[in-house]
Structure 1
């Protein structure tokens, strides 16, 4: 009888954990001479804290986005477009009209290192704006936030090619 009760408790505990929504995620970015880890933490107010570090690029600003697919079988080019479930134009992270995946720029210092620490109100770990199974992509140039006349400005922020990426998974 004791074993049956323990088995029933284990089933209840496991069922509870299977339905619990993940609140943390991680992506390991990889590119030629570029490495980094980015964590995403869903906060009680619904916003997502994005933090981590990346090394390998010279000083400057570089576009940083969540892309729609976590497919890196063909390199970073397989990740599709910016994650944009609301079908909006490209923009700045503080804009109301922006892709969910528009996280702006990250800055690298003279040590070829970038420290990321931001909070985003559009991202979510799960749900319609959920990022699990998608990819984080680092670009070769600064994001112009869709504010120039370049043909790619309102699609990608004219941030150039993809230099590193990683699939976002449960932490």
Structure 2
């Protein structure tokens, strides 16, 4: 099954704008009157708008063939639920990595390694763009480690449901100076979202965490408001309540799971907060704003235009 992402080119937009901009007065219609004593006038349409003259010119070869190609991925359709991780059934997603590959030998090595990973259903490698696309339920952390075990640098560049054309992926990054982490959210269906998180720098034990109403970090987690709830129902647990994080003796925590009735598109601009206690009774330790993340086929950039940093240099700084 092929997943195609529709592409609207700037030239198509320009043509649409030109046509829409032509005023009705630019068209002069002459029709044949019904009275027989009047001279017969042939029906004509006069184009008084000079801008239409561009349509008389033949399209250049570059203009016709310059549309970017749609991203095509010949994968099986994702299933609703797949393998189990830590007792939780994880739905399948399409995940894209930029991988430092040079030849067909690299492609073979990457494919062979990924096919041994539990939860990986299908793998496609695009050597030209150095992109590896993985369909499956395996966590990002597991797939990243597998790719790096081949001796190659790998960087996550997109994740989501290939059949979803709305904002289906988001990320929140915790940048220290004490607590570092990243939380990834991906929409699987209209009523189900998949969540993965990694944290370091937390004290050992249980810490509550949640998606809160506001992305205001003026006072840290304390200014992010209450736990987000998509409905006015106060009798049940808010959909933004993420439960607790289990932090090990090294101060590290890893979470992967799913959340019902959570729509990723409604979370952009809100915040994820982590608390000192498991009941979230304190003001909170830290928070990060949720931002839209690249979906599949949206991020093949290898060089940051703002500072010239390559994707591999950025990877080494994480």
The TM-score range, normalised by the shorter chain, is 0.7 to 0.9
Distance 2:292 2:220 in 1: 21
Partner of residue 192, structure 2: 47
Q: Return the alpha-carbon distance in structure 1 between the equivalents of residues 210 and 247 of structure 2.
A: 16
Greater RCO (CA < 8 Å, at least 6 residues apart) = 1
Aligned to 1:169: 291
Hey, what does 1:100 align to over in structure 2? 239
Aligned to 1:59: 204
Length-normalised TM-score, structure 2: 0.41
Q: Which residue of 2 aligns with 1:137?
A: 273
Whole-angstrom distance in 1 between the partners of 2:246 and 2:281: 13
CA distance in 2, matches of 1:122, 1:104: 15
- RMSD, aligned α-carbons: 2.4
Question: The residue matched to 2:264 in structure 1 has which SS?
Answer: coil
5 Å matches for 1:1-171? 1=59, 2-6=61-65, 9=67, 20-30=165-175, 33-44=178-189, 46-89=191-234, 97-126=236-265, 130-143=266-279, 158-171=280-293
Equivalent-residue separation in structure 2 for 1:106 and 1:70 (angstroms): 21
What is aligned with 1:155? Answer: none
Q: Deviations over 1:31-55 (max 9, x none)?
A: 5511100100111464111102111
Greater C-alpha Rg: 2
How many residues are paired up? Answer: 141
- For the residues of structure 1 that align with 2:185 and 2:287, how far apart are their CA atoms? 15
1:65 to partner: Cα distance: 0.3
Q: Is the 8 A contact 2:221 2:274 kept in 1?
A: no
Runs of 4+ in 1 over 4 A off after TM superposition: none
User: Which sits farther off after the overlay, 133-142 or 81-90?
Assistant: 81-90
1:49-76 per-position Cα deviation (integer Å, ceiling 9, x unaligned): 1102111122211111001111223322
Distance 2:175 2:281 in 1: 18
C-alpha separation between the residues in 1 aligned to 2:203 and 2:220? 22
TM-score, normalisation: structure 1? 0.72
Aligned match of 2:47: none
CA–CA distance in structure 1, aligned partners of residues 229 and 215 of structure 2: 14
User: Normalized per residue, which structure has more strand?
Assistant: 1
2:267 & 2:190 partners in 1: Cα distance?
17
5+ residue gaps in structure 2? 1-58, 71-163, 294-318
Q: Which moved more, 1:42-51 or 1:60-69?
A: 42-51
Counterpart contact for 1:25–1:132, Cα < 8 Å? yes
